[in-house]
Amino acid sequence: MRPPPPSRKPKAPRFRVSLFFIALGCALVFLLLAAAPATAAGGQLQVERLSAAAGSAEGLNLRFSEQKEGGFSLQLQVRQASLPALGRSFRDLEWSCTVSRLPGPCEGPLRIAGRAAGRLAVDLASPTSAEWRQAGRRLHLHAQGERWQLDLTRIPLRWLEALGQAHFGVLVNAGELSGRLHLPAAGRSDWRAELRLAGLGFDSPDGTRAAAGVAARLGLESRGGRFDLRAHWEAGEALFAPFYLQAPAGGIAITAHFDTTGPDLLVRHMEWRDGERLHLRGRARLRPEGEAPELRFEAESGDLGDLATAYLGGVLGPLGLSDVALQGRGRIQVESDSEGLVAFDLDLDAAAARDPGGRFALEGLHGGLHWSRHSTVESALRWRSAALYGVGLDPATLSFRSHAGRLELVAPVAIGLLGGELRLAQLGWQPAQSGAVARSRLGLSLHRIDLALLSRQFGWPPFEGQLSGSLPEASYADGRLLFAGGLRMDLFGGSVRIDDLALERPFGVAPSLAADVRFDDIDLAPLTRAFGFGEITGRLDGRIRDLRLLDWTPVAFDARLHSDRQWPGRRRISQRAVQDISAMGGGGLAAGLQTRLLRAFDDFGYERIAIGCVLRDHVCRMSGIARRGEGFLIVQGRGLPRLDVVGFRRDVDWPTLLQRLQGATRPGGIRID
């Protein structure tokens, strides 16, 4: 179903015959009968141009001659014929037939540009019937009282490719049409049709619309600019980006009523019925190209899971939610005008949403979200249970108010979380309006979260203590999540502050994160114990500037961590920690004597500890307190016994450094003998 490249021209069908050509042959034969004496042995009629509502023809030449064995031979030649409605023109049409008596039935071959194009039959005794046949295809035009009827059998839809391009912007490449068309009587414009599509296929050059194997029954009726459609889609698949649909076993019933009497196309009523999965109804005003339409529709689903599978893959996929599992019942009502959304109502009943990747889960969703551009409306949404990345959230109810075009949380909400609570201070949404993009806002804080419970939940080292923090405001617009005021967390007796935090495509492909991180007064003793990194006492300061993550993997940063020289307490480093830091630095101790000291003492005093890494192109440029010969000093000893740790390899492959860190924090760590 992929569209052809823009440069590919539509493949021309071998033969094209239309109602216009049948009517043309009838008209010329009738002219001949009216103009020629019944006793004439032969004759010729030439017409320079003939026009009709469906098209025109030029260079017409009709000959008839009496045969020796009796009867007449008729030959029709047309230099050029045009069908503006279909955007087609043809050259060198020829039709010949033999009639035993005038008037009487006359049938013979039709050729276009020298190639066979089936057979055309006209009953001259009854100038209300004409028929064309070719390889199982058939067009039969005949009178029904004051009206005309056209019967169609297996007519290739490729013949309508120009019509598809002009009116729908698609290239019809497959399918057949059968059925019956009831044409209007003289002086009237009403008509109706009962048609059947089989194997319809089409593509659009931009790839946003396509279909394959579509089978459907159509009922059409037109009355004075009003047009009614009844359809039953029975088989096949179709893409109308972002929606991809497949006809279910029971088919889909579609009805629509159009009005073309004014400057705009009015869809007075449209209905789409797909069993319990989706019932959609609404109306629309479609304005000239470039102007936004006016819409009002309501959709209900008794099975949100089936709805997501059948209809929402193209919508949820770009959000990173293509595998989300939905349950329950839902209803949505939307109204929009030329400026954008006017009103939005979403109601859920016994709904659930689960991410197979474990990012989130919501159970027992009830209530709804109601928004209006002009009115003040209230709504509430509650859940029985919820989880974020496997961390459970207590039941909660969120109350919202829509006012001045913004949907906002009425009051802060406290939600129980891991022995503490998550407080939602603000949560708001504003849709796109008059060219401005849609925006969402979030403000929250964490209070007394049990770090031990959090560590077990995520499989982290066994941290102890409590976590608190705040995110004053985050805003999401145009695929970018920005954090105003930064993110602050209190842990290990100190604080971590994240500024200039921005996240692009958070739910899409290859999310990107940028931030600056600062550490202040982090207690090293519980931190190093938790990581199995030996033990270091003292306090840690530091920063990570220009941090960049792509798909949650670091690709660039400038990091430097160092001990707090103002810390008044004891500053000691264990034998195990010395070994692990030495291994990270890619070197060893400053002298062989110090290696022997390492085996003799359990811990050592230190004056300063510092280590830095500038990551670029998967290589970490290492640094420390100061240069020491060819290396760099990481730990500066203090007192007796005095021990310094020096790194000797400045440029370290980032994956290699990660392996060293993992090795240092595994039980047993790295040993220097």
Contact 362, 382 (CB under 8 A): no
Model confidence pLDDT, tens digit, residues 62-108: 888 888 777 788 888 999 988 665 556 788 989 898 888 777 788 89
Residue range 120-129, pLDDT digits in tens = 888 777 667 7
pLDDT (tens digit, 9 = 90+) per residue, 329-350? 999 999 998 888 999 999 999 9
CA distance 506 to 319: 8
Residue pair 347/330 in contact (Cβ under 8 Å)? The answer is yes
Give the pLDDT confidence score for residue 1 in this predicted structure: 41
Average pLDDT over residues 646-667: 75
SS3 at position 556: strand
pLDDT number for residue 39: 43
Nearest of 662, 611, 604, 605 to residue 634 by alpha carbon: 611
Residue 497, CA atoms < 13 Å, CB-side half-sphere: 12
* Residue 163: CA count within 13 A, CB half-sphere: 7
Is the pLDDT at 40 greater than 70, yes or no?
no
Question: What pLDDT was estimated at residue 23?
Answer: 54
- The predicted pLDDT at position 20 comes to 52
Look at residues 605, 529, 613 and name the one whose alpha carbon lies nearest to residue 572. 605
Cβ–Cβ < 8 Å for 355, 324: yes
Q: Which residue has the higher pLDDT, 154 or 106?
A: 154
DSSP letters along 130-149, please? EEEEETTEEEEEEEETTEEE
Average pLDDT over residues 268-284: 95
User: Hey, how many other C-beta atoms are within 10 angstroms of the C-beta on 221?
Assistant: 16
- Average confidence score pLDDT of the chain: 82
| CA separation, residue 307 to residues 248, 301, 357, 541, 658 (Å) | 12, 7, 20, 52, 44
**Residues for the chain: how many in total?**
673
What is the reported pLDDT for 673?
32
Does 35 score more than 60 pLDDT? no
Does residue 287 register a pLDDT over 70?
yes
DSSP 218: E
Evaluate if residue 390 carries a pLDDT over 80.
Answer: yes
Instruction: Render pLDDT for 466-497 as a digit per residue (tens, 0 to 9).
Output: 888 888 888 887 777 888 777 788 888 888 98
> What beta strand segments (E) does 524-567 contain?
539-550, 553-563
- Give me 10's structure tokens: 């539509």
pLDDT band at 664 (very low <50, low <70, confident <90, very high): low
What is residue 253's three-state secondary structure?
A: strand
DSSP 10: P
Check if the beta carbon of residue 542 is closer than 8 Å to that of residue 559.
yes
**Residue whose tokens read 């617009």:** 477
Greater model confidence, 406 or 576: 406
For position 672, what pLDDT does the model report?
32
